[in-house]
Amino acid sequence: MNIAFLGLGRMGTAMARLLLQSGHSVTVWNRTPQAAAPLVAEGGIHASSIRDAVAHCDIACTMFADDDATEAVVFGRPGNESNSLLRAMPKPAVHLAHGTLSVALSKRLAAAHAEAGQGYVAAPVFGRPNIAAAGRLWVVASGKAVALDRAQPVMKALGRGVTVVGNEPWQAHAFKLGGNMLISAMVQSLSESFVYAEAQGLDRSVFLETINEALFQSPMYANYGKLMLHPPEHAGGTIAVGAKDTRLLREAAAEAHVRLGLADYLQQQFDAAIADGMEQVDWAVGQYRMAQIASKPKS
């Protein structure tokens, strides 16, 4: 297939590389052109504009960190709307939105693509950049049946599984936000457990290994726990992203007239971490640091 891939951060680069390795023709675009160089060296085609990237594609994949960046690419910037995915993508093509977006924006994208006669599938992914590089992402997708069928070869090339969760694209983005809240809740519970274990003179690594083996038997607990105890050189996801995703979840919950007390608490933790200068610290590492700070008696 002819695929356009827009958004070449660490996740996007890893995902575009998987598509190249699967034999697809991949045209890449990024706001900073130098990010495309490694993929071009591996057979990718560099496009100098959004319009050129998507003009002849079968599938257009976007992978951006937030709503604002996604909107700028899909709808174009004021005064330059012609250089946009919506204006330039062929009618038979399908837009696959891989980023973690708000439910509100996902609904807006669905309406805009429907009006333009184009396909749209929400296809956010679970996994960090190292998981993407290993081809182990899990794709959560929703959209109309015709668009989903066309997008299946791309989604299957990105990881170890695809789950279709609904007919309305926004449902996949709602699903992804719910999953991310569970990760944050797990990290918070691990953080406070580590604080407790250390206060009791217990080895945190032994505590993690034994509790996980005895109770959870979960690679998520094992991997995130090790990451928290041995912070990585490069953040897989940042506190800023965690705060954004929690805010989007709470907005979607409020729109559905439900209140989530745990999400409210997690938002407070993320906001406190940002106020403490941890915005770009690894998501899990930052939560652990905040738990350590909160455990100290107030003078």
Element (H, E) at 290: helix 283-295
Q: Give Cα separations from 164 to 35, 36, 119, 210, 267 (angstroms).
A: 31, 30, 16, 35, 29
As a whole number of angstroms, the distance between CA 30 and CA 281 comes to: 24
As a whole number of angstroms, the distance between CA 230 and CA 222 comes to: 12
As a whole number of angstroms, the distance between CA 144 and CA 189 comes to: 38
As a whole number of angstroms, the distance between CA 65 and CA 68 comes to: 9
Residue for token pair 């709503």: 67
Structure tokens belonging to residue 88: 């330039």
- Catalytically active residues, by annotation: 176
